[in-house]
């Protein structure tokens, strides 16, 4: 799709946005650059994820880029935004992390169930049961359990990598994430954990805080952070594992 805006329009919009903070302008900028997201998302299309999901993930990157972009830098916004969007997409695959071990059949089922879970959660106003998921998806309860298990079982390595490979340039700023400071204060109460928690990417830290300090349900966290409940579930499992392993290595009491 050809867009009719020009580079100058983009600059003007950014200037206005910085001045007024108007969410409408932010939305306009996001809309104008959606083709960039679509273009980049397509590059990841052969990895077995629905394109729509990839565009959604990429859009998160776009919004981050919009919030961080500094006109003074003298680079085009699209140049600036591309690595952020690609970074978000890469992180998405890294989070999913199930490169080889999980059979394709289960990957596909798991992706499908992801959507069923989201739909049912919406409909029921609570987390669905396995039998509800099974009957809605037209598969057996055994299949659902197997898919859920496989979703949990895949690689836990990505959190071992130093954090911030994709977002080390500036702290992640999520719109509704005013809690971050509180989160750190609370978590640092557990002094021995603080260095480990500091290694977590900001989003993981937020999820950890919301689940265990705020007692927020996975579904609510999912809404809050803008990812699926099953994704929250996988991240939580991995965060705990990461902290546990870190504590074991550090010889401190957990």
Distance from the Cα of residue 38 to its chain's centroid? 18
CA distance 249 to 254: 11
For 220, the 3-state DSSP assignment is helix
Neighbouring C-alpha atoms within 13 Å toward the C-beta of 169? 12
Neighbouring C-alpha atoms within 13 Å toward the C-beta of 130? 10
Candidate residues 59, 206, 218, 228; the one interacting with other proteins per rule CB under 8 A: 218
Candidate residues 10, 82, 110, 229; the one interacting with other proteins per rule CB under 8 A: 229
Rg (the chain; Cα; Å): 20
Using CB under 8 A as the binding rule, whether residue 119 contacts other proteins is answered as no
Q: Which is closer to other proteins, CB of 38 or CB of 141?
A: 141
From the CB of 106, what's the least distance to other proteins, in Å?
15
Using CB under 8 A as the binding rule, whether residue 39 contacts other proteins is answered as no
Using CB under 8 A as the binding rule, whether residue 240 contacts other proteins is answered as yes
Using CB under 8 A as the binding rule, whether residue 217 contacts other proteins is answered as yes
What is the H or E stretch that residue 22 is in? none
User: How many residues line the site for other proteins (CB under 8 A)?
Assistant: 33
What is the contact surface with other proteins in residues (CB under 8 A)? 117, 126-131, 133, 141, 144-145, 148-149, 152-153, 190, 193, 211-213, 215, 217-219, 229, 233, 236-237, 240, 243-244, 253-254
């Amino acid at each position: 799709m050809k867009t009719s805006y020009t580079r100058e329009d983009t600059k003007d919009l950014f200037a206005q946005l910085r001045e007024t903070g108007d969410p409408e302008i932010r939305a306009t900028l996001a809309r104008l650059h959606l083709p960039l997201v679509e273009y980049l998302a397509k590059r990841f299309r052969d990895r077995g994820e629905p394109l729509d999901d990839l565009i959604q993930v990429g859009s998160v990157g776009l919004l981050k880029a919009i919030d961080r972009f500094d006109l003074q830098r003298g680079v085009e916004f699209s140049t600036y935004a591309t690595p952020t969007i690609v970074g978000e997409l890469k992180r998405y695959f890294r989070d999913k992390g199930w490169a080889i071990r999980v059979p394709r059949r289960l990957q596909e089922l798991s992706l499908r169930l992801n959507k069923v879970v989201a739909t049912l959660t919406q409909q029921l106003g609570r987390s669905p049961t396995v039998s509800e998921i099974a009957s809605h998806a037209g598969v057996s309860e055994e299949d659902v359990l197997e898919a859920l298990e496989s979703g949990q079982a895949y690689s836990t390595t990505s959190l071992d990598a130093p954090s911030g490979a994709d977002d080390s340039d500036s702290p992640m700023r999520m719109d509704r994430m005013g809690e971050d400071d509180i989160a750190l204060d609370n978590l640092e109460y557990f002094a021995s954990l603080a260095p480990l928690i500091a290694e977590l990417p900001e989003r993981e830290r937020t999820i950890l805080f919301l689940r265990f300090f705020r007692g927020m349900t996975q579904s609510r966290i999912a809404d809050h952070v803008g990812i699926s409940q099953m994704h929250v579930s996988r991240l939580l499992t991995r965060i705990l594992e990461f902290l546990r392993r870190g504590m074991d290595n550090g010889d401190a009491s957990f």
